[in-house]
Each structure stands twice: as structure tokens, then as C-alpha cells.
A and B are shown apart, each in its own frame.
Chain A
């Protein structure tokens, strides 16, 4: 196990391994998302309160879940990169940021679209979850901005890693905001001590979408990390051998 992790930290090994994993992740992601979308849109009964509008849950909740998952992945890899100085870790953090920002934007946008018919407004400044998710988007932007402002790669890696770790406080705030303050959002329905409260027919497409999105995110992330690794190691021997295969003279 440790030997595998050790090998994994080596860029060329990762580069080759990721290439093999990505297609599988994509296929499963596609399958789950297709099932979740079709089932969620057409084969689940309408909600007794919200009618057909509740179907937005099948894109909004996965996006929101992923916006937080992406940040946690960034925080963990930032921590690993800072403590053990593994370059691949920093590459993962850097690659996850734009993806996380996209999903955060999606969460905010789909949530806003859902809010208009349900709560009567596109945005509610008093809602703690909306505000903390918006703060999350700004944290992503800040990370990307700090990275691009520092020229030296290693310094950029480490400085932005500190930034991500400082901002991690926002994640529990997002999750517990609906419990601590009065919010338009309902309380947690999935991640609860007593188990999910949602009806099973509605639950399975939702779980499928969440897992499908997660696999999709992982596939996109691995692809981006491959690009990042290739760029960082562009002067190394293994990249040279990969892109310009040595010509064998008979």
C-alpha cells in the first residue's frame, strides 16, 4: 500500500496510470448521470409541495455537493503538499480549482433558478447558505488569482496552499448554516444522524447523480492533473522520451 502510494507520487507513473483510469471513470459517470437525469426528469413523481420544479434538485444538489468536495480535495492535497512537499499534490490542488469554481457557480446558478419560483426571488441576501456558498466562489477566485500572480511555481504552490487551508473554515459554515441560523433552505436531508429523510424513489436518482458527478469530476481532475504534470515536468527526460520517442537506428 505504501509502496503504491510512493509510486503514485512519481509524475510519470501517475501520468500513465491516470490515462488508464480516466476512460472507466467517464463511462461510469456517463451511465450514472444518464440514469439519474432521465429518471429524475421523467420517472419520479412530482413533489406534493413543489410540483415539477423540485426536479432541479437533481442538478443543484450534486453541483453543491461537488463544490464542497472539490474544496476538501484541494485542502487535503494542499496540506499534503505543504507537509510532505510532494509536487503532485500541489498539481492536484491547482487542477481542482477551476473545476471547483465551475461547480460552485453551477450550484449558485441552479439554486437561483430554483429559488425564483419557490421562494419568489432570484437571490436572498439574508440566507446564510447562499452567502457562504458565494464566499466559497470568491475563495476559489482568490486561489486562482494568487497562483497566477506568483511567478515561481514552488512559491505559488505553497502560498496558495496556505490560502486554501485558511479558507477551509467556510466548509462547515456552509453545511451547518441551515442548522445554526434561520434559512430559506431546509435542514439537511441526506447527511443526517438518523439517515436520509427523502423518499426512496426520489433518492436513488439523486444518489446516482451525486456519484455520477463525483466520478465525472474525478475524471476531469485527473485529466487536468496530467496536463499540469506534463507542463511542470516539461524539461525532464521522461517527458522528452514520451513526446519525442527516441529514434532507434538499426
Chain B
């Protein structure tokens, strides 16, 4: 016997369970994956349509366009992060469970990223090719988007928790998250631009990585606090 009175699942099991649960739910709703993807692709094509097919100009503005489209796509998918849990009462259970709430919030952010961020990262080279971006810059694009979408999922969960159940929560969520997301956008897009121009990208990558780690360290706790407040 291990001496425990109750067989309380540990941290790792708790994290795995919530990720698994969310992924299962997303599996049943393919829209969760496809909607941000299509949005990303379509918004990216809006710019060439509006500005005209001037190839050199497109290639120069491609990093910014792709990044803005990715940012908007992730922002749109954030509103529903906690909404269904809130509405059917599972949020109460999540808050009351023996695992630390920040850990579970982290798990939800991870599954959110797997469902909406990671597909964007995978699809981005395809969209980038339509902008005639050079192949060598694809690695930088993927890396910056990878780090950036992780940060966005983490920061976005704070906004999602704060605006839970509010009337026009979607717009408000974007308004709250955008100031925090701006450094990610700035360094992400400009680093890829530097890559296109042939300059060194190390500084930008380091900044994005540092921001990502900062978000990873603090966002779960802020999300947990916001969840408890919003769920009252």
C-alpha cells in the first residue's frame, strides 16, 4: 500500500488528462482546427487581391501579412477556449479539482495551441510560397510562428478567462490581448523580414524565445486567477 488515504491523481496525470480531453472534444468539432486555418489562408490572400500582384512588393510585405493573419486567426479561436466549459459546468469541476488550477490552465493552453496554432505553423510555408518567399526563409518563418503562436495561446488564455461570458467578449478579448501580443508580432514579422533581406535573425529568435518562456512562466497563474474571478 502506498499510504495515501485517497488515490489523488498526480500533476502529470492531471495535465495529460485535460489535454487529452480537449483534443478529444476538438476531434469531434473539426471546425476548431479548420476555421482558424481557412481564416489564415483567406486573410493572407486578401492582401495580394487588394494590393495587386506586384511580386517584389508582395515578397517584401509577406512576413508582415502572414504574421498579422496568423495573429488574427489565433485571436478568433480564443473566445471559445473556456466558453463551452463555462456553459456546461465543467469549468466548476476544473476549478475544484485537486490539481493546481494553473497546471490545468497550462494544459488547456497547450491543447489550444495544438489545435489552432500548430496547424497554422505547418500550413504557413504553403501560403508563404504563394507570396514567392524564398525557400531558405521558410525555416525562420516556421520557427518564429512556432514561438509566436505558443506565446499567443498562453497570453490569449488570460484574455479568454477575463472576458468569460461577457456580452461582446470577442472584441473585448482582442482589445485586451493585442497590447501584449504586439511585441510578438513586431519581432516575429520583422525577424522574417530580416531573413528575407539576408540579415542575421538570431536576436529576434532569442527575443521570441524569451517572451515565450516568460509567458509560459506567468500566464498560467494569471489565467487561473482570472478563471476563479470570472466563474463566480
Contacts and interface: CB of A to CB of B under 8 A. Distances in A.
Are A and B in direct contact (Cβ within 8 Å)? yes
Contact of A142 (B175, B222, B225): B175
A139 B229 contact: no
Contact of B167 (A149, A159, A167, A173): A149
A162 B163 contact: no
A162 B175 contact: no
Nearest to B232: A155
Contacts of A169: 214
Contacts of A119: none
Given A149-B167, A149-B168, A159 B162 contact: yes
A162 B163 CA distance: 12
Nearest to B218: A166
Interface string B194-232: 000000000000000000001000100010011001101
A41 B19 CA distance: 63
Contact of B172 (A136, A146, A166): A146
A149 B172 contact: yes
Interface in A78-109: 82
A131 interface: yes
B229 A162 contact: yes
A135 B179 contact: yes
A220 B163 CA distance: 30
B43 interface: no
A169 B155 CA distance: 13
B29 to A, nearest CB: 27
A155 B227 CA distance: 11
Interface in B171-194: 172, 175-176, 178-180, 182-183, 186
B133 interface: no
A162 B162 contact: yes
Most chain B CB within a 10 A radius of its CB, from A135, A146, A162, A165: A162
B158 interface: yes
Interface residues of A, number: 24
A145 interface: yes
A146 B229 contact: no
B168 A142 contact: no
B108 to A, nearest CB: 17
A173 B129 CA distance: 35
A247 B186 CA distance: 65
Contacts of B218: 166
B166 interface: yes
Interface in A50-73: none
B179 A158 contact: no
Contacts of B232: 152, 155
A139 B222 contact: no
Given A146-B176, A155-B230, A162 B222 contact: yes
Contact of B230 (A131, A138, A159, A170): A159
B10 to A, nearest CB: 28
Contacts of B163: 146, 149
B162 A163 contact: yes
A146 B177 CA distance: 12
A28 interface: no
Nearest to A140: B179
Contacts of A139: 179
Given A146-B172, A149-B166, A150-B166, 11 more contacts: A131-B182, A135-B182, A135-B183, A136-B179, A142-B175, A145-B175, A155-B229, A159-B226, A163-B176, A166-B158, A166-B218
The 10 closest A-B pairs by CB, nearest first: A138-B179, A158-B229, A142-B176, A135-B179, A139-B179, A162-B226, A166-B222, A159-B229, A159-B162, A149-B166
26 contacts: A82-B225, A131-B182, A135-B183, A138-B175, A142-B175, A145-B176, A146-B162, A146-B163, A146-B172, A149-B167, A149-B168, A149-B169, A150-B166, A152-B232, A155-B229, A155-B230, A159-B162, A159-B230, A162-B229, A165-B222, A166-B180, A166-B218, A166-B222, A167-B180, A170-B179, A173-B183
Interface of A: 82, 131, 135-136, 138-139, 141-142, 145-146, 149-150, 152, 155, 158-159, 162-163, 165-167, 169-170, 173
Interface of B: 158, 162-163, 166-169, 172, 175-176, 178-180, 182-183, 186, 214, 218, 222, 225-226, 229-230, 232
